[in-house]
Amino acid sequence: MALKSPKPGVRTRDGGEYTCPGCGAVYKVTVYTSPFKDTNHQDCEVCNTLIKSWNHATTWWSYKLAKRPRK
């Protein structure tokens, strides 16, 4: 999930890296904090393992694939 540009009031910060436990793909994480609530989830682009889900949260996450696992 990639947000184009945050709405007014939305703040972003670096969330570091995340490694998928299913396949080892590495993601760059961005954390969004907002007065707006969001419900969504993120699956691994490589193996479709659920990475994170949130429901009516004012903090949510974006995962950008940085490195595919070795085959």
38-56 pLDDT, tens digit per residue, is 899 999 999 999 999 999 9
- Which residue matches tokens 């659920």? 50
Tens of pLDDT, residue by residue over 60-69, are: 889 999 999 8
What is the rounded CA–CA span in Å between residue 45 and residue 9?
Answer: 29
Q: What is the pTM of this model?
A: 0.80
The pLDDT score that the predictor gives to residue 36 is 84
Output the CA–CA distances (angstroms, integers) from residue 63 to 40, 56, 59, in the order listed: 12, 19, 14
pLDDT for the residue 63: 94
Per-residue confidence (pLDDT) for residue 1, from 0 to 100: 46
- 8 pLDDT band, cuts 50/70/90, is confident
Amino acid of residue 69: P
- Cβ proximity of 62 and 2 under 8 Å: yes
**Degrees (nearest 5) of the Cα angle 42, 48, 52?**
25
